Structure 1
Amino acid sequence: MASQFGISEAVMNEMSTVLQSHKTMDVLAQVEGMLDQMNSVTLNIAVTGESGSGKSAFINAFRGVDDDDPEAAETGITTTTLGAAAYPHPTAQRVLLWDLPGIGTASFNPETYLEDVGLLKYDFFIIVTADRFQEYHYALAKCIMQAQKKFYFIRNKVDRDLEANARRRSQKGLSDDDVLDQIRANCEKNLRMGQVENARVFLLSCFHPQGYDFPALQMTLLEELEGHKQHTLLLSLPNLSASLILQKKQALAGDVWKRAVAACLSSAVVGGNLCTVASKLMDTLKSYQQAFCVDKESLLRLASITHISFQELQSEVTSTFGKQLPTEEVEGIVSRTDPTYQLLVKKLDMRFPFLATVATGVITFVGSYFLLSSALNSLSEDGERVMKKVLHEAFAKQNIN
């Protein structure tokens, strides 16, 4: 395991800024503070649109929750949202999607509407329609722009348009791509006519979250968020592309050394008990499983949405880290005196003498670091196998239909 990974000079330099103190409690507080700062960010996403546009279905699809799930936003063809309702992500409780009251009624006033729903608390707005964009969509977008907030237009239920086209294809001769191009062009034309310039339009079907523009929407939102909010959203997103999984892996890799130091020092505080190290690391492994959507709860939700059995999805999770590791096994990995560690251990002893004075020592830090690095590699591969399974099944069903 150790030969597969190294600790780069950039990571060494980052560690140097923290491991200057010789007081265990001070260093531990600083490292845990850095981790807590990232994990304490709240992201508020507002979803609005007229009644029947599929706002609630979009919220469920974005969160990776089936419409029949107890945690789902209520869906229906009539108005189901009378006030702003918050729906937390099932594994990232600080990511909140807000189902806002429907727009498009005779009494709708975009300026008072935004004030009523609490404009300033939202990070960005999703405006959903299942048909062409109307005057009230344009008015709402302009008010959001004046407040210097970002917004994104969603043209929902495009699967319905494709099904209608399929019934008359022999007459029109349009392909699915032609129909989608027409829908996008019409949406963009209507928005320009409504004086909403350079608006991005994403074509979606909440019944097929793996297809259409869902992956493009994910990447756009990530590109336009910054800092910890971007990180928070990234780890909550369902896996719809290999590039998204890679981004998750890279983002988590940047904090491996902090989690290894935190585990090592937490153990030292309570007397150098390896069980404490293992407990901290197992918590981190659980969060990694959730980030790559391969934990049991995520797979059960995915099975409900895709109608692929839980057993089939779970069979794609083949790594040791995709299972529940016993505490004793984690302890054994961390404390193993692998000969390939020795050069790195000596280097760290010289670079960070403080770590050498800690009861659990440099060996425990190195073991923790490589365990977490190995887990990231393995779990990202598990997540990609599960994703490919889902996409393969979706493609096969589409061809049958």
Structure 2
Amino acid sequence: MASQFAISEAEMNEMSLVLQSNVVTDVLTQVEGMLAQMTSVTLNIAVIGESGAGKSTFINAFRGVDDDAPEAAETGVTATTQMAKAYPHPSAHNVLLWDLPGIGTLSFQPSTYLEDVGLLKYDFFIIVTADRFQECHYALARCIMQAQKKFYFIRNKVDRDLEANARRRRQKGLSDDDVLRHLRADCEKNLRMGQVETPQVFLLSCFYPQNYDFPALQMTLLEELDGHKQHALLLSLPNLSTSLIQSKRQALAGAVWQRAMVVCLSSVGASNTLHATVSKLMDTVKSYQQAFCLDEESLHRLASITGIPFKELQREVTSTFGKQLSAQSVEGILSHAVSAQRFLVTQLERRVPVLGTVVAGGISFMASYFLLTSALKNLSEDGERVMQKALFVSICKQKD
């Protein structure tokens, strides 16, 4: 237990650098500023495709939203979009997916298209198609590369291709893997013909986002972003793999000491220190619930997408932090943490002496740190159980 929740060498060094002042307000302002930088960044993702390619369905699946939800991008519309429209993530409003005007029409002019839609404001582009490669895809790829922006090519509706293959399998004898390999090879070959040296192609079905290349797309985007934009995208993604959930836990763990510090410093001088501490901790744990898609709104969205009853998904959430969060339960965990972590306080004060002065011996900091670290561990495990439930149902639906 001690090693699991002990503060790392790097965290102690970082705290030592921050805690140069004994003035509570100065330290609080500095730490709150560090946290604000992580949430103030905006990520703009451009989604391009011809009419019928499934752009809107992709935007909804990427945000973990059902096509019929009020906040969903409108699907089934045959008319070409004339204006770029932003769709914010339902709980991470700083992540925006932009549905750009359709391509492949007579009015589409590749030489001016990207300038017209505001090329430079987008962080990267996603080109969505559901049929054969077209000349407009070449043109777009070249323009995006000339602007030194990244793009990812999505071959959507592969479930439709596999269904067609199943009907003619007796004649051609192709397996599903053969079909997918052929689709990928064809897209990569065409992109190379358009002078894309290392094409990034992902085969998807937006109706079954847990399958095919959707999880791989998520991880690739994360690997190729950095800094706060990577953090923003990570926390907005629906849980489609264990790797993604563990990445969320690791990213959030890196800021636990800052959040614990804010909790403690904010409560200094409060008329009811315990109440102020508990309130701040509950706010932070609720943000963790959202990140792991375990809050009620996220579970309702998942229930709508998968058809699994909300209560059934909620039963997979077993931790106190996931379903029994209350002021009383938080106070109980804090009391346990104070007694269980006393031996760590001595170690902390020896490495960061000013902390004892600022936070009354560091016990409240250590208790908050312990509670938040425990919450991340338990909520990530809850998130994995919910994800496995959704994945199992998705596989069963495909078999049917």
Amino acid at match of 1:329: S
Give the structure 2 partner of residue 168 of structure 1.
168
Q: Percent identity?
A: 74
CA distance in structure 2 between the aligned counterparts of 1:260 and 1:85, rounded to whole angstroms: 38
Corresponding residue for 1:127?
Answer: 127
Match of 2:319 in 1: 319
Q: Any gaps of 5 or more consecutive residues in structure 2?
A: none
SS of the equivalent of 1:126 reads strand
CA offset digits 1:287-322 (Å, max 9, x no partner): 111111111111110111111111111111001100
**Contact 2:334–2:371 (CA<8 Å) still a contact in 1?**
yes
Equivalence map 1:218-257=2 (5 Å): 218-257=218-257
2:86 alignment partner AA: A
CA distance, structure 1, for counterparts of residue 372 and residue 51 of structure 2 = 46
CA–CA distance in 2 between the matches of 1:199 and 1:282? 45
Deviates more, 1:316-325 or 1:364-373: 316-325
Structure 1 unaligned spans of 5+: none
Alignment of 1:1-150 (within 5 A): 4-79=4-79, 81-150=81-150
CA distance in 2, matches of 1:31, 1:188: 46
What SS class does the counterpart of residue 53 from structure 1 fall into? coil
Equivalent residues of 2:204, 2:214 under 8 A apart: yes
Task: Give the CA deviation at 1:325.
Answer: 1.7
Equivalent residue letter for 1:295? D
> Secondary structure of the equivalent of 1:308?
coil
Q: Which residue of 1 aligns with 2:177?
A: 177
Aligned letter for 1:172? K
- Contact between 1:267 and 1:360, CA under 8 Å: does it hold in 2? no
TM-score, structure 2 length as denominator?
Answer: 0.96
Give the TM-score taking structure 1 as reference length: 0.96
Contact 1:85 1:98 in 2 (8 A): yes
Compared CA separation, residues 263 and 361, structure 1 to 2 (3 A) = farther
- What corresponds to 2:278 in structure 1? 278
In structure 2, what residue type is equivalent to 1:35?
L
SS state at 1:97 partner: strand
For 2:371, the aligned partner's letter is L
Q: Does 1:383 align with 2:383?
A: yes
Q: Deviations over 1:74-97 (max 9, x none)?
A: 111502522100000011100000
Is 1:298 the equivalent of 2:323?
A: no
Partner of 1:69, secondary structure, is coil
Q: Distance in 1 between matches of 2:131 and 2:199?
A: 17
Aligned to 2:357: 357
Find the aligned partners of 2:299 and 2:391 in 1 and give their Cα distance. Answer: 15
> Distance between the aligned counterparts of 1:314 and 1:57, measured in 2?
26
> Counterparts of 1:324 and 1:17 in 2: how far apart (Å)?
37
Is the CA contact (8 Å cut-off) linking 2:299 and 2:314 kept in structure 1?
Answer: yes
The answer to whether the 8 Å contact 2:46/2:124 transfers is yes
**1:13, CA displacement in angstroms?**
1.1
Bigger mean CA deviation after superposition, 233-242 or 106-115? 106-115
Q: Tell me the residue number matched to 2:307.
A: 307
More displaced stretch, 351-360 vs 370-379: 351-360
Distance change (3 Å), C-alpha of 1:368 and 1:306: same
Find the aligned partners of 2:25 and 2:263 in 1 and give their Cα distance: 13
Q: Are the equivalent residues in 1 in contact too, given 2:349–2:361 (CA < 8 A)?
A: no
RMSD value over aligned CA atoms?
1.6
Quote the offset at 1:238 in angstroms. 0.8
**CA shift for structure 1 position 269:** 4.6
Distance (whole Å) between structure 2 residues aligned to residue 314 and residue 80 of structure 1 = 40
Partner AA of 1:84 in structure 2:
A
Distance of 2:70 and 2:30 partners within structure 1: 39
Q: Which moved more, 1:339-348 or 1:155-164?
A: 339-348
SS of the residue 2:268 aligns to: helix
Cα drift, residue 111 of structure 1: 2.7
Distance across 2 between alignment mates of 1:276 and 1:2:
26
CA shift, 1:2, in A, is 5.6
Deviations 1:225-269 (A, max 9, x none): 011111110111111111111111111101000000000000015
Matched pairs, number: 400
In 2, Cα distance between the equivalents of 1:10 and 1:57? Answer: 43
- Secondary structure at 2:215 match in 1: helix
Question: Any idea what SS the aligned residue of 2:127 has?
Answer: strand
